[in-house]
Chain A
Amino acid sequence: MSEITTKFSSRIFRILARGGMETYVCLIGGFIVFVVIFMAVFAPFISPHDPITSVADPLMPPNSEFPLGTDNLGRDVLSRIIYGSRTVLLVALVSSLFSLVIGVSLGLLSGYAGGSLDRALSLIMDSIYAFPGLILAIAIAAMLGPGISNMTVAIAIVYIPTYFRMTRGQVLSLKGHLFVEAARAIGADDKTIMFRYILPNLLSTVVVVFTLNIADAILTEAGLSFLGLGVPPPTPDWGFDLKSGQGFFTAGYWWLITFPGIMIILLVIGFSLLGEGLNEILNPRLRAR
C-alpha cells in the first residue's frame, strides 16, 4: 500500500511540474486548503485571543484591535474563525474518510460479487442516495442528537452511497477487462483480483471523489450546525456562528455572518478546485490521435 502512495505522490509531483490549466486550478485549490489546514493546526499560535471567552465589548465592528470585529458575546470573530476551521476540517475529513472506507469496500464487494448481494446493497444504497443530502443528515442527526461525533456519523452515512456507486460502477467496468481475465488465467483468486488488480485502478477516481466529497461535507456540516444539530456552543464553528449572527444582520452588524460565510465558501471552493484539477490530471481526457 505504501508503495502505491509513494508512486502516486511522485507521479503527482511530476505532473504538477508541467503546467497547464488543470495544474493551476489544482494549485489554487490546494493553496486555499493548505491555508485553512495551517490555520487549524496552528490555531493556538496564530489566534490572537481565546475564541470562547468574551474579550471585549460585544458587537464591535472591525477595527485595528479586532480585525474582524466581535460577536454578540464579545468574542473575537477572527479567533473564532481560526479555531472554527478545526471543527469544520475535523468533521469533514473524518466523516469523508469513514464514507470512503465503508463505501469503497462495499462497492468493491458488491460490484465484484454481483448477484443478490449486489442487488440488495444497491437497493439500500440507492434508497439512501435518493434523499437530498442535507435533509437526510438532518434526519439522522436529529435522531442521534447534537454533538460533534453524532454529526460526523450522520454526515458519514449520507455520503457512503456516493463512494459505493462510483466504486461499484468502476468495478463493473474493470471486471470485464482483459487484464482481469488474464489474472484469473494465472490462477489469481477473487481476493487477489479485487485488491491487486481492480482496487489500484480505482484509486485515482477515489481520490478525486474524496476531495469533491469533502467540499460537500463541509456544506452539510455548516448546515447542520446552522440548524443547531451540530456542535454545542461555545465550540467555535463557522456554521453555528452563521446561525447566531443571522439575527443581527438586519440590524446592521454584518461582520458576524459575513466572515464565517466567506470562509465556508472559500474552503468549499478550495476543495472543489483541488478535486476538479486532480480529476483532469489523474484521469486526463483521451488525447486526440
Chain B
Amino acid sequence: MRLLEIKDLKVYYFVRDGVIKAIDGIRLWMDKGESLGVVGESGSGKSTLAAAIMRLIPPPGKIVEGSILFKGVDLTKLKEEDMRKIRGKSISMVFQDPMTSLDPLQTIGDHLTETILAHEKIDRRKAIEMALELLDKVGIPKDRFKDYPHQFSGGMRQRVMIALAMALKPDLIIADEPTTALDVIIQAQILDLLRELKDELNMSLILISHDLSVVSEIADRIAVMYAGHVMEFSDAMPLFDDPLHPYTQGLMRSVPNIELSDQELRFIPGNPPDMLNPPSGCRFHPRCPRAMEICRIKEPPLVEVEKGRFVKCFLYGNDA
C-alpha cells in the first residue's frame, strides 16, 4: 500500500473577485521511505498542496473534490478531531519561516518535551531523554536545551523545527520551503541534515520548493507543478537527464548552474499565470514553445510515457 496517494484533488479559494483554482485536479503518490520533491513557481499551488495534506487550508479555501489517501485512509473525509490526532503524530510539517514558528515563551527543551508528552504515555524523565536525543540528532548542543527561541539563529531554529517534526516519529514529514529564508551555507547544512535523517531513519519526506537545485539534493521523485496542475512526475535522475514537459525543460534551462562556465541562461517568455483566470486547455500553452492547436482547447491528461514517468502534455501519449 502506498504511503500517500492523491487522486483528482481540487482545492479552490472563493475570494471576492472570483474563484482561485489553486489546485485543479492532480494525481500524486509516494511510498514509504521515499522523498518526494514538489517544484513550482508563483501560482503553481505547491504550498496549497502542503496545507491540503495537513487539512490546514485556511478559509476562504476549500477542498472541493478528490481524495488524499494516507495509509489507505482518506484524509479529506476525516472529522477534524481525527485529523488532529494525525497532525504532528503521523504527519508533521516543517514550515518556511523559522523566525515565527516557535513559541517565544517556551524554552525549546520544554517545547520538545511537552510535544512528546502530549502524545506518548511515558514519564517526564523519559520524555526529556528523548528530547535530548532528538536535539543531538539535529546537531544542537545539549547545553542549549534550556534556551529560548530568540537565542537561536535562523539555521538553529530550523533545526529545532526539524527536531519537533521528528519528535513523534511520524510516518511522513512535509517540509515547505524549509531553507528559503536561510543563507546558502546554513541551507547546505540543513539539506545535509535532511538527507542524513532520510538515509539513516528511512524517513518519508515531501520537500516543497521553488528551487530546483534544492530539490535535486534530496528528492528521489519529483513532481513539477504549474498553475495548479502536475505537469511532470518522475524519478529525479531521469527528470534531470531528460526532462519531458516543455515547462520542465524551460525551467531547467533558466536555473543558473554554478558549475558550468559559459551557460546560456534562458527564460520562459510571458508571465506567471493569473490564477483567477487561468489559461484555457493546457495552462502552460501561452508560454509553451511547442504549443499546438489542441493545447489551447483541451487539458492534456497525465500519461505514463515510460515506467514511472508521467507527463501532462499532448506531445506525449496516445494523441501525440
Contact = CB atoms under 8 A, between A and B. Distances in A.
Contacts of A18: 16-17
Interface string B12-49: 01011100000000000000000000000000000100
Contacts of B60: 287-288
B16 A288 contact: no
A287 B17 CA distance: 11
Contacts, number: 15
Interface of A: 18, 20, 284, 287-289
A284 B58 CA distance: 17
Contacts of B58: 288-289
Given A18-B16, A20-B16, A284-B16, A289 B59 contact: no
Contacts of A288: 13, 58-61
Interface in B211-228: none
A289 B60 CA distance: 9
Interface in B163-192: none
Nearest to B59: A288
A284 B16 CA distance: 10
Q: Looking at chain B, what size class is its interface with the partner chain?
A: under 10
Contacts of A289: 47, 58
A15 to B, nearest CB: 9
15 contacts: A18-B16, A18-B17, A20-B16, A284-B16, A287-B13, A287-B15, A287-B16, A287-B60, A288-B13, A288-B58, A288-B59, A288-B60, A288-B61, A289-B47, A289-B58
B159 to A, nearest CB: 26
Nearest to A15: B16
B118 to A, nearest CB: 27
- The 5 A-B residue pairs whose C-beta atoms are closest, nearest first, are A288-B58, A287-B15, A288-B59, A288-B60, A20-B16
Nearest to B61: A288
Contacts of A287: 13, 15-16, 60
A119 to B, nearest CB: 31
Contacts of B17: 18
In this complex, the member of A18, A20, A289 whose beta carbon has the largest number of chain B beta carbons within 10 angstroms is A289
Nearest to A22: B16
A181 B230 CA distance: 40
Contacts of A20: 16
Nearest to B60: A288
Interface in B192-250: none
B311 to A, nearest CB: 29
A20 B47 CA distance: 28
A287 B59 CA distance: 9
B44 to A, nearest CB: 13
